[in-house]
Structure 1
């Protein structure tokens, strides 16, 4: 970015990227093409092999191109880390444990088989054993950063094939550090002419020790620090210091965990994944997820632009048939191997086809591993350059492969054909959502549990949430006034929403958000008094329960019974008065075809 000096040129590449995101992505959306392809195309167009070639004849074009590809790639690594962090938030250690057969079975089988077969093919193409092994290991991996957003865009993450795909990608991420160690060992083997002594091997293996220690420290410190830190942030937010505190804390966790993992010799994305897994066990999971979402999308866009910039068009033009043929051959071999491995580990045919097709293209770690091979001097620079271009082209095909998979399998919805221990429940499915988990919400939850009704509770008070979770309640921290939070908590499939908070303005906010998402939803809210109940009916609640009215009726009931009035007469008069109040309140309730007006008496609690 030199040459643009003090006129703000140091931010020129960022401005160009944001402009591309604002133009290319909406254009591709309008054309019903994956926005990922829009970012990839922007990288090719704005990179050194795109418009920059014309900068000599039209200097103004230099302001429309990205001149520092290295800086873009540095930012793109953050995008991959944010993606893995979000994936970790959707998992937990228990769910990850339940997927162990797919991760360490199917995933590691895929890595081993693809490495061996690809290495054998490279040896047939004239590469040495060591060089072929490095190429095979690098290309055996797939692109988490491209595959997962494509699956998410198509609504396939929670399907059978989506889980199998994620298991393989997770195994690949875990394999990166051992592969890099193996490259070091192979370099020592090549230098010794094929004779490697025990000392050299031991020294290479000892490099795994910092990684193991770093991983243990990351998990241990995370368990100790994350919950108290976010509890403190939640208290600050409650004092009116704003949502930016959560955003800052979330950014700190992602970047800090990634840098700590890098320092231990692991990948930044693996550190972010571990941080996500740790936070998934806390009550702050949903709030963090909402805070981090915008940054993940933007930084992933940087990643895709970086991939597009990495496409060396000179190599393609010099030998288009060879480059495209190599890309097609590598993808086809991986598809065949992954399909066979998936079937071997019990994945049904359609899911195996989809898994194999989306994982067939190469991944971003190919650049890391093959780059390490070049540094160690065991990979042919010319041939490796051609392979990297072919790998980049194959990455471009991931969205098309997902479309092809959908057509071949005619996939429309998830089919539970994975092993039972690989299935994870949909959060909030068919549950009752309780908003507010103070004394009233806690009692409502206890009554629901007593009658075998599942519930998920949400509260914006960190201390209340911590107390509830300590007692085993299914309660999370978050602001239910935000539609996104209600969606994350499963309002689309919830059986009912009960709003128990004692702040009338906040109750109104939650009711508006919930009714806007689900016109047909059973929505019951706590009201401060008669006027508040009337307002809630205007907002569309199914039932409103005013505190003052219910307290007065309960007091009257107890008094009359204690005075000797027969219980039956007392209950009848209480029910009659309650129905009269309810009828008056519901006159303000708007008609809705999805929410019929009804008057229903609430049964009074009998004295024991």
Structure 2
């Protein structure tokens, strides 16, 4: 390993890339959940499994990660990028539609589960401070695991997905008062002084979030408008990473969760024309680093200790799941979810989460929690996250069995760029705008992709659904829901660009109606060969319209004129 001293953490990174690039595709073919696979891989290559044998068998050192510190640092970035993506996919109007679930159900879940778990801790003889930390810390669930499982099943926008996100968002916000509370416990704050400090800290946190959002809107959008997503892709990616990590650093400096900062950065860009381009730029990093997060969780599983405390561990993990799942089921039923929806969501959120590691770790370091108890509970957190994919499958099966109706208790999230029946317009110049006006009059929803930043910005500021991007990128079209679109209209006047877009779209969406504008008959034939369903040559159509008027003036009847025009149109393309 000394050969890599000049590049720290090279061996763990190479091992992780081998797992992600070679092993994961094989497991995906076997329909193994990525979450389960990464967790199991982390447990296998971590210091408590193969790592224990590396001292005796040096060659095993190439296949183990003895020091997980570098892995954990990168893994935290994965959680931040995931929350940035969640913020990007949640414009303000959608977040507002979830306010009742975030503030009401989310708060009730965290405080209710925290009180019950804390009560159990008190019954086992723990001090009041330790019981509060255990209760509120273990009441949190894993945003990383839950949102990844929902994404794998394509259910992030379902009732279960939206309710899960609402609860998880409140928990992420609740990290702030939780860490403040820990600091006060460690400092022996008491009485009214305690309440005053708590209230002051919360007000400061709210002010910091408001200031960051304001500064972000004043600074981020102008910065993005100076970079072209189509011709300066590397600069655009760098700016997206800077926005994510920069806002996260600001919230960290303000004493808040850095993951909350990444979420705020996503919210800032969610209402701009760069939303989808930023999503495409960050997704590869998010996917890899989230895998690294799950590997780091698997590495923390101390198998020898788990074997020694097997009875208590099993009882604690299933007890945790039982308390949280039953409490949440009752809350979700009270909120109007069906039995199946409430059951699936409760089982999906029954584990402890990544913030539980932070809370318990700080409690151990500050002396609020006895080291032996804290380490045992960290093992409970890890095992509960391991069980989540199994609990999710059980919940999904339970949902199907209990609910045949598939009721949707939460109002659907609005958004013309993700609904079925949308028309996608590639290019928003003169022709694209005319098509959009006709669709508006017909009551048909549409979204346009414009590669020129200034034009897209101008239309977006007018309230039109126009985004910056390259219509020839299939990933962007997938994000816009092209697979469910009614049609795609290619209106750009650049002949080569239009042909490239048609070729790319037809290869990715073979059955999608594709209507393209052509400059002339020859360009029209090229577009038909590329896969366009219909082409409209500008010069030909102008000549035919002129011919209609000429034939009428010289006395040719309408029926004969129409037949002649159609014959000429067919011959011209």
**Same fold, TM-score > 0.5, yes or no:** yes
Q: How do 1:446-595 residues align onto structure 2 when only pairs under 5 Å count?
A: 446-557=437-548, 565=554, 569=557, 575-584=562-571
> Aligned to 2:205, which of 206, 211, 225?
211
Q: Which residue matches 1:592?
A: none
Go from structure 1 to structure 2 and tell me whether the alpha carbon gap of 1:458 and 1:578 turns closer, same or farther (over 3 Å shift). farther
Contact 1:75 1:302 in 2 (8 A): yes
Question: 1:521 Cα deviation (Å)?
Answer: 2.6
Q: For residues 452-479 of structure 1, what are the alpha-carbon distances to aligned partners after superposition, in whole Å with 9 as ceiling and x for unaligned?
A: 2221111111111122223332211111
> Is this contact kept in 2: 1:434–1:457, CA < 8 A?
yes
* Corresponding residue number in structure 1 for 2:271: 281
Q: Name the CA distance, whole Å, in 2 between partners of 1:352 and 1:6.
A: 52
CA deviations on 1:140-174 (whole Å, 9 max, x unpaired) are 00000011011110122111111111111111111
Structure 1 contact 4–10 (Cα < 8 Å) conserved:
no
Q: Which deviates further from its counterpart, 137-146 or 513-522?
A: 513-522
Separation in 2 of the partners of 1:539 and 1:311? Answer: 54
Residue 573 of structure 1 deviates from its aligned partner by 6.8
- Equivalent residues of 1:501, 1:507 under 8 A apart: yes
Match of 1:79 in 2: 78
Q: Distance in 1 between matches of 2:322 and 2:501?
A: 51
1:589 alignment counterpart: none
* Residue equivalent to 1:258: 248
Equivalenced residue count is 572
In the aligned structure 2, how far is the partner of 1:454 from the partner of 1:60? 60
Contact 1:102–1:422 at 8 Å: present in 2 too? no
Asked if the contact 1:161/1:354 (under 8 Å) is kept, the reply is yes
User: Counterpart of 2:226 in 1: which secondary structure?
Assistant: helix
Q: Paired residue for 1:320?
A: 310
Instruction: Name stretches of at least 5 consecutive residues in structure 1 with no aligned partner.
Output: 587-608
Does residue 145 of structure 2 align to residue 146 of structure 1? yes
CA deviation after TM superposition for structure 1 residue 555, in Å: 4.3
Distance (Å, rounded) in 1 between the aligned partners of 2:122 and 2:160: 33
Q: Is the CA contact 1:151–1:402 (under 8 Å) kept in the aligned structure 2?
A: no
Range moving further from structure 2, 282-291 or 205-214: 205-214
Shift of 1:539: 2.3
Q: Secondary structure at the match of 1:111?
A: helix
TM-score (norm 2): 0.94
CA contact (8 A) 1:159 1:414 kept: no
Q: CA RMSD in A?
A: 2.3
The residue that corresponds to 2:91 in the other structure is 92
Secondary structure of the residue aligned to 1:68 is coil
Aligned to 2:346: 356
Per the alignment, residue 111 of structure 2 pairs with: 112
**Aligned equivalents of 2:414 and 2:143: distance in 1?**
20
Distance 2:71 2:135 in 1: 27
1:366 to 2:360 alignment: no
Match of 2:65 in 1: 66
Q: Distance in 2 between matches of 1:90 and 1:318?
A: 44
Distance of 1:139 and 1:131 partners within structure 2: 12
Partner SS, residue 410 of structure 1: helix
Task: Report if the CA contact (8 A) 1:323-1:390 is conserved.
Answer: yes
2:236 corresponds to which residue?
A: 246
